[in-house]
Structure 1
Amino acid sequence: MMEPARNGVDERELFSSGPVVVFKWKNAPGWPVEYASRNVEDVFGYSAEDFLAGKVRYAERIHPDDLERVAGEVAAASASSADEFTHKPYRVRRADGETIWLYDHTHILRDPVSGEPTHYHGYVIDITARVQAEETNRSLREQLLRTQKLESLGLLAGGLAHDFNNILMGILGHANVARHALEKQEAPDPTLLEACEQIEALSRQAGDFCKQLLAYSGQGRLERRPLDLGELVRETAAMLGVALPKAARLELELADSVPPVEGDRVQLQQVLMNLVTNAAEALRRGKGTVRIAVDRVELSLADTEGLVLGSAGLEPGPAVRLCVEDDGVGMNAETRARLFDPFFSTKFTGRGLGLAAVLGIVRSHGGGLRVDSRPGAGTRFSLYFPPAGATPAPVAVPRPPELRADGGRVLVVDDEPVVRRVARSMLEILGFEVLEAVDGEEALGFLAGACDDLRLVVLDATMPGLSGLEVLERLRERCPELPVVLNSGFNEAGFEVLAGCEGPVHFLQKPYTLEELSAVLDELLGPAPSASAEEE
């Protein structure tokens, strides 16, 4: 530490410019300044005369959030036997209102008799640039860690979705086959029939959830088409009701003549489910009302600027609004500010991804989102989507599967026994004779010199060892025109190679039903007369 000259000025004149400002403060309330180097104005925006005349007190320039800590550090050092100390960096406000960060090293001048501090003599350095650089580096490190975490979660989600889809293939497939058998009876048991239908419906919902996991992992594919949001709400109402407590009510207010939006049905259903689940958790003791409304509105420029995180792609003008509102506990400003942060949740059992996923889906659809809430007054999520130009296409209803008179032998290749059993049952219902292979090597053994004996191959794309795509490539060398149904728990988006594949091939994602398999076979093999028609 530089020793002050006798008059306390000479050596400090060295600091007449640059970032280092020398001060001498009196140990009195507000720390009156008795000396300040001439360059103080460059750092603080106030002249040395402003400080010396008492127009500006040093303590008044310290940021209010840091003042108590700085004063505590001064008091602690003064009460000790220390001759000097260094503050933790703190903020001060310049004359122009800008906030800067300072490094402060101070020497304590004590009364030679009592030992009590009389003055503080030290220097401060503007370290704002360094603090900002450290904050930028910290933010980049956090962003990198968050990205790595999301990538890891994405890989995990994709793997779970694939494995879960294989399980769902067994559940949905067996229920589907059982329902088909019941419907063939003259007087099917209505209780069993309804049970099968419910198992199928719930399996499809679980399958939709797997599609969300695949989309989250980057292995899913958006299927955008014109959608009627009101109709989507009606179709999803039963599933939404399951998310509500028994004492809660679900109200729908769906306006007429609302234009369609361009969207992915599964993702928008997931948005509805996430918002209704969030609303249900906000109800007081599980009692209250959740309202879903769909209407057409006109957005002004101010409306679009007031949306969460801006309104990328959403212009002022006509929009389709989807509202999910509850009369629950509401949220304070702090909660609203973090509402869409990944992994943030106010619920002990919450996953913290639901609303972050909602925001991501809305923005990917070119829409915007607004949240209105206050404690005790409930919450309203308003989602805005640009209207689509086309009319929603009717949902295709597959024709009932029938026994095919042309039949033939089919090879089913899958490493999952439950998938092979379900596929066998479905194909036998359709009139085929079924052979099974547990992996790619066994499948190629069947195919050696036997292409003419096979009508079709149902091939799993992601088997261990020799993958389905490798089997398909070798199969094409031996049987170039043999039809192949390639299936997987992953989405077709991961199999772009099929676009350039020679020979008849069709992708079918697991889990699938007898009706869906029958429709694919009609495309690959051509519509065939049913066995009943042949008998006539």
Structure 2
Amino acid sequence: MTIGSDRNMELEEALEMAARDRPPLQHARDFQSFAVLEQMVRMLPHGILVVSDSHGVEFANQAFCDLYGLMIPPAALLGHSASDILQMIRSRWFDPLYEQQRVRDWQARSRARRSMEVVLTDGRVIAMDWTPLQVDGRINCRVWHNYDVTERKHLESMLREREVDFRVMVEGTPMIVLLSEGEEQTTVTVNSHLTEILGYTAADFSDAASWWPLAYPDPVYRAKVANDWTARVNAAIRTQGRIEPMETRVTCADGSVRDIEWGFLSVGKRNVVYGVDRTPRRDAERERARLETLTHHLERSQSLDRMAGAIAHHFNNQLHVVMLSLHIAADELPRLTEVTRLIDSARQAAANAAEVSTKLLTYLGLSHATMKSLDMADICRRMVPILQASAPAGVRLTTSLPTSVPKVTASEAQLQQALLALLSNAWESARVTPHEIEIAVEMVDGREVPNTHIFPRDFVPQSGRYVCVRVTDRGVGIEAPDIDRIFDPFYTTKFVGRGLGLPMTLGIARTHDAAIHVESVPGQGSVFRMYLPTSG
């Protein structure tokens, strides 16, 4: 290494030491003489002025004159004051008045080392440092260090523009993007999609200790996700690569849960975490799976319905043969004998079995029905006396029936069966007597038909009006889990009959494109509503 380069390094080290914000005499380099100082700064490529405590120029190098375009040798600057030199180079400044005021403010600072930048008329940017030094252990001076930072400023501007472009890109991408630094993954910035998708803010991502419990409140699931994530991320940081996508169920700020597919990329000290919201796709997949399961159950139910219908038809036909044969046998035998009494019992049992078979066929929608235009209020009005006469003791029927309602196209016999079944269910639920049951008929709009506890389950109300037959009781009520099962054949929580009354009513509703809604409160009673579409 040459002597000149050694001295360059020595001066630069001295300037660096003097740059620290401490008293000048404590850190300023002690040069043996101005001659040594001059020899050192002469070799530097930067513009240097050495100014004494009396503000006179003690030394200037050629680089200073070249930097400011001064057409005089450096020796011509000696003896001038620092203010004189500033006036010489003032014409080179882009905005002399503005820059001169800045320089005055700069000179007035009390700090040991002062720095500023000025813009020249040719567009260059010059940085100026004012650094204290000590010579001969007693003479204090200052080094005015000038150097061109135009290229650096240009690069800084490009970096800022790229930073802006990058942030615009990060903000514009339709996913969560988080930038962090180092193995500690200290968060630098987070885009707005974090708040839009998950409801959290950048403050919630400040560190893993605060983020993990928010996103994964279940400690077992949190530990599993954290261990998997940490292992993948550490490997990516070591290899400066990316991880395989990792999908987790994230709890949002509002308590909802979303499916997020996370990725991680490590480049140098910067890390990029990105998250894509897969919730719509996962919801669609879950809905498709649900529909496939429902379709499977419906297909299985239809298969069972066909089989049950075939069995019921066959059973019903055989019962008719039995009943006809018993009837013929009874006519051939003397009356009031033991044999005829047995035949009568057999005929009654066969009739009961045939009734079960007929109700099962009605439930399956396979019974024959003659349709005509009917007034449901009139049907109820004519049936009430008969129903009251057949009701158990202590049960009283009340009605709320309009004079007339729009007609429905229906089978009168089946509607009478449905009404009887609903009333039978109501008076069987009586806890105490007297027990009051209300029968009402009213008009409702299709938009008012409830969508929960509605049967058949696939019923979709149409636009237009419905005639609603309502049966209300104050009985024991129905537990919520049982509501979905009361229309299953032979299901009952109070087995007093054959368990086909409500299933038969559901079959009648299917035949008439109608629906039955159930509303019940255990211990308070139930309300059954049958919605029948109006004719035309």
Q: Higher Cα Rg: structure 1 or 2? A: 2
> Per chain length, whose mean CA-contact separation is higher, i.e. which structure has more relative contact order (CA < 8 Å, sep 6+)?
1
